[in-house]
Amino acid sequence: MELGFLKTLVIVISDPASTRRIVQLARKENPGIYIIVRTRYTAEVENLLHMGANEVIPEEFETSIEIFAKVLHRYQVPRNLLLDQIERIRSGNYEALRRVELPVKSLPEKCEIITDIETETYLIGEKTPAAGLSIRDLKIRSTTGATVIAVRREGEILPSPDPNFVFKNGDIVYFIGEREKVLKAIELLEGPKTFK
């Protein structure tokens, strides 16, 4: 096996014994190579790292995170909180190569004409730049194309807030629109002064 010229090796086979052998051989042949391994079980992680792998991504760990994300999204946990929790889980154990794909939430299938419309939620925190600003100040609709359809404040749903509605810490904002537009609106809330 000629590995001296390689900079990175990614191993994604399902045979644990072969995976271990490849890691050992690759490290022996090329001490400077960066080895990334996908393994089926978290129990293999420490062993593979000890044998010379630089990163080990267990399938069951990523699958668990994906299930966790889908359940929280189903219960309408605000997107920014969900992504923050996923990052905390990952940084505590393993670096992930891919982001969790959140399920698309669209209106019922009966509305075939508008199946590209989605809803999404966002929690305004103490440090959210949009806190203290109104819907009008942010120009959400004209800048992004997404619409604020409601805000949950202190447990109460406030439907169709007017343009002078001012966001505050703890508000959960409900958006509707095409996915790209909704994501732009979330970016706007996270940094309205730098949004382009």
Each residue of 94-123: pLDDT tens digit? Answer: 444 334 444 444 434 433 434 467 788 899
Reference 15, options 47, 42, 40; nearest CA is 40
pLDDT given at position 6:
76
Structural domain contains residue 195 = no
Structural domain contains residue 37 = yes
- Do residues 96 and 131 both lie within one domain? no
- Do residues 167 and 145 both lie within one domain? yes
What are the E-state strand segments in the chain? 8-11, 34-39, 55-58, 117-123, 147-153, 156-159, 172-178
Q: Are 147 and 165 in contact (CB under 8 A)?
A: no
- Do residues 30 and 57 both lie within one domain? yes
- Do residues 124 and 67 both lie within one domain? no
Last residue of a domain, one of 83, 103, 123: 103
pLDDT given at position 119:
81
CATH number at residue 45: 3.40.50.720
CATH number at residue 152: 3.30.70.1450
Structural domain contains residue 67 = yes
Q: Are 130 and 167 in contact (CB under 8 A)?
A: yes
pTM of the predicted protein model: 0.49
> Residue ranges of the chain with pLDDT lower than 70?
1-5, 60-61, 63-64, 67, 71, 74-75, 92-116, 192-196
Sign of CA dihedral 71, 76, 78, 79: positive
- Do residues 126 and 98 both lie within one domain? no
- Do residues 90 and 141 both lie within one domain? no
Domain region containing 160: 112-190
Rounded alpha-carbon distances, angstroms, from residue 165 to 6, 92, 130: 57, 39, 12
Spatial strand order in the sheet of 156-159:
117-123, 172-178, 147-153, 156-159
The count of structural domains within the chain is: 2
DSSP 152-173: EETTEEEES--TTPBP-TT-EE
